Structure 1
């Protein structure tokens, strides 16, 4: 027998095993989260007699669509004004500067302590801005909100009390809400995925005492924790995940509260979503490269080490999905021509049950996020989400590989449209129809060919997979071209 068919089958089988392991990890987190909800969240501590000092940092770069909204929302925080300091960390080089200056001046005139902080360059990007803002500051706690967030007025008064009973709590992270979830299909799919992270993963990890991550925004740090962990580093695109692991390896505890929601805007165009996905997936790989060895050399319990490994390697699943997808088309011909593999393929079909925990994981999150929605709406939406996630595999796998190779890339922030229409969306383009989009279109045709080949050979084993891949890559290509206009 030829070596190539055997190699294809072996590699595809290894990919299935990886997916099974990934899916089992999500199943474990789902079970832990359900136990946490059944047990009930710890009650909120009482308000302190005297409120500690809080610094609110708003890192900005060219955000004229939303800059006034976030400044006004933070200026409306219901917290003692003599204990509150707001920093607008503005690295912009467009009209955002004037808009921010005007809103800061307005709130200064109202008696608020709010500063418009400007740097001579963008060294270190967001992490550099956060670090710069802390220089010379002595406030006890630091809240961070990205430009697309609109915190509720009582946010600080709900979060700060959780720090006070335990001096080792370094972060309180809250759940992200979605201001524009129902804007279109793209935003609904993003909300679907993010809800699983915030309603299942973060809850399950917190309940079990595993490491969790500060999500970059919508949370509060104890200043002593930031300093003890070495401050903000600029060597990864996920400075939040990096500092989270350094702090927890130093013994700090993180607390997550899904009942406190920080509303935010979801990217409504494909290039904005891709820039966000690139940062998250590449940054996670960079952080894994930086901390996995240290985690396994630490004195953390074995379950914590295993979950941390699963956590840090999450984004690497896109490499496996991409490899599995590319192998699946020639595998149609192997299935048709090499009947001696029939038993192997039957065994492989058992491993496809590895997707069952993912169905359970996302269904549980969907129920928690939308308790009133009828069950029949879930299957189709889940399959569409799975399809589009597969369609992002090429883009995200490339980001992960760059992260593992240690190749430095600039921090490209996710542009926000605010309440504006297409003109405001086009104001901050992060890319256009380039080579990657062309490749995504070609891959849609490649998987359509695999779909047709399966029908031709009367072999429908890979038909569902090729259907999802064809739709997913076609959708990503379509949205990329549509949003380029």
Structure 2
């Protein structure tokens, strides 16, 4: 019986954290709606004779499938050639370097600098920092290899730096391949909410926002004032964002400026990206949370910074809730626990309602085809939540490593560019074909929760049926796509 009460305590504590996070999301939603009512920020275009020097940094590591597309997009930027330098920060160890050297010869009127390092010290952060030493631009834009910059990106973002307090302008990611498969649809579902409700909400409320690692432009002096790029976390973008804003710099988010990018089409690539994001977020929490609470910041900023830095801990909470729910389900069925406890726990449904509202606004409220988007939302929300639950083992481990200080190398997310190259994702030689040990645990959990769902139906114990069903579906999808890759492709590839 003691074990049952311990599990109940773990369950309640974890659910309280999820509820706290969902309530901060509700506040961001209010901020988002307030932003819709605010008058647009008026900025005057920068005159051509007053345009400053700009450096575009393109960090590259083994990107044979997308590097030509990236360089072509960089060469199309609508900016005076004499005031734009493009740094190709190339740490590649394969044939990508030769491709870059050949490709930049096609654009003799564009000021390309092909910079190579003797080692990958500091990974992406190290490459950006090394390039900054020779950067001549007053402003520094950054685009990852899977992005296709808008030709007018620089001209659209520079006017917001007329305020000398502005240190960075972040733009909205859009998706080149969101309809490729179920997995890309669900990623777009999550990112669209982040780049609408979360970023706009934080910006309107005066909370800290983050540079998303790409699709943004910095004032060079802001980077240097904040201490330059550091590689002690896997999310150097979030780290520098918090250091800069704690120094008093203002960040601007512009959701009306689009930066198209490719979404990972297969689970192995998604997991490598998710691991880096969640572990890096936890590392930044360990690094900055204490500083945020020690700094003379408004309570609103502190609370949102706490939720922001600890958002990856939600995966740990879901994992604990999932595990503890098994003995609790058994205890309720055997009448070892009062049904009043379960009735009282219904308060946590508020968190689900809030999350549903946030994602509804983030995916339907911003769409023109509201009817079609609403119908799609009906099946996307439960599938998204299920897959997110299914990632709790993989991402929970990443969070644990981040909070405990365990270091790991920066693992890049492989790029595929399937639409342009007309390739099968299996033909990509960057694609990981190994099956991690954690995948077998995910499949085991899928079987366990499937059995519990069957037992619940048999004994007519429906209290946790929906939750356990979503866990079963999520673990099956994550586990099976980790083994077999993406099987739900709308293109037949």
Bin for the TM-score computed over the shorter chain: over 0.9
* Aligned counterparts, 1:149-160, within 5 A: 149-160=147-158
Residues 181, 486 of structure 2: 8 Å contact kept = no
Aligned partner of residue 271 in structure 2, secondary structure: helix
Residues 332, 338 of structure 2: 8 Å contact kept = yes
Give how far 1:61 is off: 0.3
Deviations 1:263-287 (A, max 9, x none): 0000001111000000100000000
Give how far 1:360 is off: 0.3
User: Is 2:193 the counterpart of 1:191?
Assistant: no
Task: Specify the alignment match of 2:127 in structure 1.
Answer: 129
Deviations 1:240-271 (A, max 9, x none): 00000000011100000000000000000111
Name the CA shift for 1:13/1:314 in 2 (closer, same or farther; >3 Å): same
Which of 441, 459, 462 is the aligned partner of 1:439? 441
Give how far 1:98 is off: 0.9
Give how far 1:4 is off: 1.5
Runs of 5+ unmatched residues, structure 1: none
CA distance in structure 2 between the partners assigned to 1:380 and 1:121 by the alignment: 47
Give how far 1:113 is off: 1.0
CA distance in structure 1 between the partners assigned to 2:32 and 2:470 by the alignment: 29
Give how far 1:340 is off: 4.5
Backbone CA RMSD of aligned residues: 1.4
Deviations 1:410-457 (A, max 9, x none): 101111111332257531124521211111111100111221232233
CA distance in structure 2 between the partners assigned to 1:27 and 1:96 by the alignment: 45
The number of residue pairs the alignment matches comes to 481
Task: Specify the alignment match of 2:491 in structure 1.
Answer: none
Larger deviation, residues 308-317 vs 37-46:
37-46
Task: Specify the alignment match of 1:24 in structure 2.
Answer: 23
Task: Specify the alignment match of 1:459 in structure 2.
Answer: 461
Residues 59, 127 of structure 2: 8 Å contact kept = yes
Task: Specify the alignment match of 1:478 in structure 2.
Answer: 480
Which of 310, 324, 332 is the aligned partner of 1:313? 310
CA distance in structure 1 between the partners assigned to 2:183 and 2:367 by the alignment: 18
Which segments of structure 1 move beyond 4 Å, counting only runs of 4 or more? none
Name the CA shift for 1:232/1:425 in 2 (closer, same or farther; >3 Å): farther
Task: Specify the alignment match of 2:144 in structure 1.
Answer: 146
Name the CA shift for 1:425/1:356 in 2 (closer, same or farther; >3 Å): farther
Task: Specify the alignment match of 2:287 in structure 1.
Answer: 290
Task: Specify the alignment match of 1:38 in structure 2.
Answer: 37
Aligned partner of residue 428 in structure 2, secondary structure: helix
Task: Specify the alignment match of 1:5 in structure 2.
Answer: 4
* Aligned counterparts, 1:37-436, within 5 A: 37-48=36-47, 49-107=49-107, 109=108, 111-164=109-162, 166-374=163-371, 375-418=374-417, 419-420=420-421, 421-422=423-424, 426-430=428-432, 432-436=434-438
Deviations 1:314-365 (A, max 9, x none): 0011000001011112211100113552111111123223210000000000
Give how far 1:369 is off: 4.0
CA distance in structure 1 between the partners assigned to 2:45 and 2:79 by the alignment: 15
Larger deviation, residues 122-131 vs 338-347:
338-347
Deviations 1:284-328 (A, max 9, x none): 000010011111111111111111111100001100000101111
Deviations 1:142-186 (A, max 9, x none): 00000000011111110111102x111000000001000111111
Deviations 1:212-245 (A, max 9, x none): 0000000000000000001000100000000000
CA distance in structure 2 between the partners assigned to 1:121 and 1:425 by the alignment: 28
Aligned partner of residue 287 in structure 2, secondary structure: helix
Larger deviation, residues 451-460 vs 438-447:
451-460
CA distance in structure 2 between the partners assigned to 1:425 and 1:123 by the alignment: 30
Name the CA shift for 1:425/1:135 in 2 (closer, same or farther; >3 Å): farther
Larger deviation, residues 451-460 vs 298-307:
451-460
CA distance in structure 1 between the partners assigned to 2:292 and 2:16 by the alignment: 24
Larger deviation, residues 473-482 vs 277-286:
473-482
CA distance in structure 2 between the partners assigned to 1:292 and 1:377 by the alignment: 38
Residues 390, 471 of structure 2: 8 Å contact kept = yes
CA distance in structure 1 between the partners assigned to 2:379 and 2:308 by the alignment: 28
Give how far 1:405 is off: 0.7
Larger deviation, residues 292-301 vs 2-11:
2-11
Q: TM-score, normalised to structure 2's length?
A: 0.95
Q: TM-score, normalised to structure 1's length?
A: 0.97
